Amino acid sequence: MVLEIAYEEITPDVGTEFPFCDECGLLFPTGELLSLHLRDAHDSRKGKFECSYCPYTSNNKFDVVRHERVHTGERPFQCRLCERAFAQSSALSAHQRTHTGERPYPCGGCDRAFAKKSDMVRHQKTHTAEKPFRCDVCDRRFSQSYEVRVHQRVHTGEKPFECGTCGRAFAHRMSLKSHLKLHDNNKPPV
């Protein structure tokens, strides 16, 4: 299964998964962006502005311009410190906090703070016992929907993360990242 990345190039922390659209397979950095996408792209009420590349429509022209960057790869917002570029100005702002160390989103349940609000919201769920998402195969429960998708690879044998050097495939992004370090160090892969 290959997932297209939406809005920005996502370089998650090791082991991080992101919500994706069941309708078209686009991957999103936050559930909030996924919700906006579902409303704008898959709501039966058509918007008056249309994407030039896919069926996406919106009543807001800027939303369509921003959406089309998914197709064109345009990234007009560039970091002046490391030259990384982003499709959205908000993604650039969040990225710049990696350089400043700013963490404006504190967790109310512990001493941790986060650079991105979405990371803080995800973290806060670790303080509750709520696990509303269930695996249909084994009934194991999870606090995040993406955790169910990742877990289900145990049952399906799916390995969507493939090494471009040797072709070995992995069920988890973290496993591929660890494997790639072996290639980087000119060590034989394991």
Residue ranges per structural domain of the chain:
4-72, 77-127, 130-158, 159-190
d(CA 51, CA 69): 10
Q: What per-residue confidence (pLDDT) applies to 48?
A: 83
pLDDT tens per residue, range 21-39 = 877 777 787 777 887 887 7
Q: Which fold has domain 77-127?
A: Double Stranded RNA Binding Domain (3.30.160)
Domains 77-127 and 130-158 share a fold: yes
Which residues are paired to 162 by β-bridges?
169
pLDDT < 50: residue spans in the chain: 1-15
Q: What local confidence, expressed as pLDDT, does residue 64 receive?
A: 92
Rounded to two decimals, the pTM is 0.47
Mean pLDDT of the chain: 81
CATH of domain 130-158: 3.30.160.60
